[in-house]
């Protein structure tokens, strides 16, 4: 049923509008929380500051998320959902194996560069020994399809005589992520130590090329 201006809204319409408002509010809270936690860490982040960023009353944060710890977990889950959803758009299962691995390497690097808040949230959670992630079933469920897809890519490459056998997809993904994560997380100290601007456009291009060569050198047959 269409509600025209001036017509009273049906109960179903009211529920739908309230649901949309609730979804928008939770989304605003999560995005504000991701920024605050990334900037200040779990210990330094304040509910008042998150509410101000989101433009909402802080009571709504407690209504939807109970408190700071549950909000931090929800922010972590959202950052992982963002990257996993974006990875699905790569369609690794439908491209040839060499291109699939190259595509995953490039995506991982570019996503980390574009989303430093993801790295900062991981740094904060590591300081807390993954206390929040251990409570999340969603995180494990979100990561399983990626590892399965990568495993399938590696097996296709092995059957086609392109990749060596016996590659653990979990270990490979950790290596891809680690080669990007360590560099970017430590870019300020490394830039100072080596006297280079490791975040310049030229340095970032060189780093992606290096990571790609390292990974492909590992997976490809001689």
Instruction: Look at residue 118 and tell me if it is in a domain.
Output: yes
Q: Identify whether residues 87 and 191 lie together within a single domain.
A: yes
- State both tokens at 143: 């990561």
Q: What is the pLDDT of residue 21?
A: 84
In this prediction, residue 222 has a pLDDT band, given cuts at 50, 70 and 90, of confident
Tell me, yes or no, whether 87 lies in a domain. Answer: yes
Q: Is the pLDDT of residue 195 over 80?
A: yes
Assess whether 60 and 120 both reside in one domain: no
Domain holding 15, by residue range, is 9-66
6 — pLDDT class (breaks 50, 70, 90): low
In a domain, residue 81? The reply is yes
pLDDT tens string 205-216: 999 999 999 999
- Give CB contacts under 8 A, 24+ apart, made by 183-189: 183/207, 184/112, 184/113, 184/116, 184/119, 185/119, 185/123
Q: Report the pLDDT value the prediction gives residue 5, as an integer from 0 to 100.
A: 53
Token pair of 16 as six digits: 């739908």
Mean pLDDT of 89-96: 96
User: Helix, strand, or coil here: 220?
Assistant: strand
What mean pLDDT do residues 27-38 have?
A: 96
How confident is the model at residue 18, as a pLDDT?
Answer: 54
**Segment 30-39 mean pLDDT:** 96
Q: CB of 34 within 8 A of CB of 80?
A: no
pLDDT in tens, 103-120: 999 999 999 999 999 999
Q: So what's the pLDDT on residue 2?
A: 45
pLDDT of residue 11: 56
Residues 116, 39 share a domain: no
Residue at 2 is within a domain: no
Instruction: Say which residues have a Cβ less than 8 Å from residue 3's Cβ, sequence separation at least 6.
Output: 9, 10, 13
Please say whether the dihedral angle defined by the alpha carbons of residues 161, 165, 167 and 169, taken in this order, is positive or negative.
Answer: positive
pLDDT of the residue at 137? 87
Instruction: Report d(CA 202, CA 180) in Å as an integer.
Output: 15
* Pair 36, 112 in one domain: no
pLDDT higher than threshold 80 for residue 12: no
Question: Is residue 76 over pLDDT 60?
Answer: yes
In terms of domains, do 85 and 47 share one? no
The answer to whether position 1 is within a domain reads: no
More confident residue, 9 or 115: 115
Looking at residue 35, which CATH number applies to its domain? Answer: 1.10.10.60
The two tokens of residue 149 are 């897809």
Q: Both 45 and 78 in a single domain?
A: no
pTM over 0.95: no
């Amino acid at each position: 049923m269409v509600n025209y201006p001036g017509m009273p809204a049906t109960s179903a319409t009211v529920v739908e509008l309230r649901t949309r408002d609730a979804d928008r509010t939770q989304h605003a809270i999560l995005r504000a929380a991701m920024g605050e936690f990334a900037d200040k860490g779990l210990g330094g982040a304040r509910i008042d500051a998150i509410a101000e960023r989101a433009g909402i009353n802080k009571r709504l944060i407690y209504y939807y998320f109970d408190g700071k710890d549950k909000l931090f977990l929800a922010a972590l889950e959202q950052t992982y959902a963002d990257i996993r959803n974006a990875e699905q758009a790569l369609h690794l299962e439908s491209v040839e194996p060499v291109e699939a691995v190259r595509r995953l390497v490039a995506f991982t690097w570019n996503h980390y560069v574009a989303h430093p808040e993801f790295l900062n949230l991981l740094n904060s959670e590591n300081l807390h020994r993954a206390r929040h992630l251990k409570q999340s079933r969603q995180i494990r469920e979100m990561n399983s399809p990626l590892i399965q897809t990568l495993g399938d890519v590696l097996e296709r490459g092995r059957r086609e005589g392109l990749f060596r056998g016996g590659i653990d997809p979990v270990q490979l993904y950790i290596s891809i992520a680690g080669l990007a994560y360590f560099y970017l997380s430590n870019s300020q100290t490394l830039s100072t130590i080596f006297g280079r601007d490791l975040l310049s456009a030229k340095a970032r291009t060189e780093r992606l090329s290096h990571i790609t060569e390292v990974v492909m050198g590992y997976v490809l047959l001689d």
